[in-house]
Amino acid sequence: MSGILKLVVIAAVFLGASTLSAQEEKMDFDANFSHVVYFWFHNPNNAEDREAFETSLKKFLKNSEYAQTKFIGVPAETPRDVVDNSYTYSLILTFPSKEIQDKYQSEPAHKVFIKESSHLWKKVQVYDSVGIDKLAGE
């Protein structure tokens, strides 16, 4: 086998393995209950505050027993009249039920995150939603 062909084969194997690994880690969105949180910081441009928040939030999500979908975001800077880009961070979590989300609210990892990070934000807004299929009994 020529050197170029060997390189192509190795690259294909590597890419296939990394794609498989990424797919195995992918978590499905649970449409039963979504918990969307927006955080507005006192000092949104302070790099140290942002690093401390992200570190604490990632630790919390890694240790959460209940949170399924785990998405941390920042404003996408999509300037339209209906879009609010004023927040500092967003968090989207999903749960299989309201009852599981209630347990999440009092779990130790969540309480530690609040204790570590609440001094960084001036406002938090939460939007909880139940999937319409869940309401219809489907």
pLDDT digits (tens, 9 = 90+) for 86-107: 999 999 999 999 999 999 999 9
Is the C-alpha dihedral spanning 54, 64, 118, 90 positive or negative?
A: positive
Residue 123 has pLDDT above 50, yes or no: yes
Contact 88, 47 (CB under 8 A): no
pLDDT digits (tens, 9 = 90+) for 56-80: 999 999 999 999 889 999 999 999 9
Reported pTM: 0.76
Residue found by looking up tokens 């890419």 in the block: 15
Q: Which two tokens stand for residue 103?
A: 């347990």
Cα 35 from Cα 104, distance rounded (Å): 11
3-state SS track over 45-106: CCHHHHHHHHHHHHHHHHHCCCCCCEEEECCCCCCCCCCCCCCCEEEEEEECCHHHHHHHHH
Delimit the domains of the chain by residue range: 27-135
Domain 27-135, CATH among 3.40.50.720, 3.40.190.10, 3.30.70.100, 3.40.50.1000: 3.30.70.100
Residue 39 has pLDDT above 80, yes or no: yes
Closest CA to 100 of 135, 124, 133, 69: 69
pLDDT digits (tens, 9 = 90+) for 13-30: 344 433 333 334 445 677
Cα 100 from Cα 98, distance rounded (Å): 5
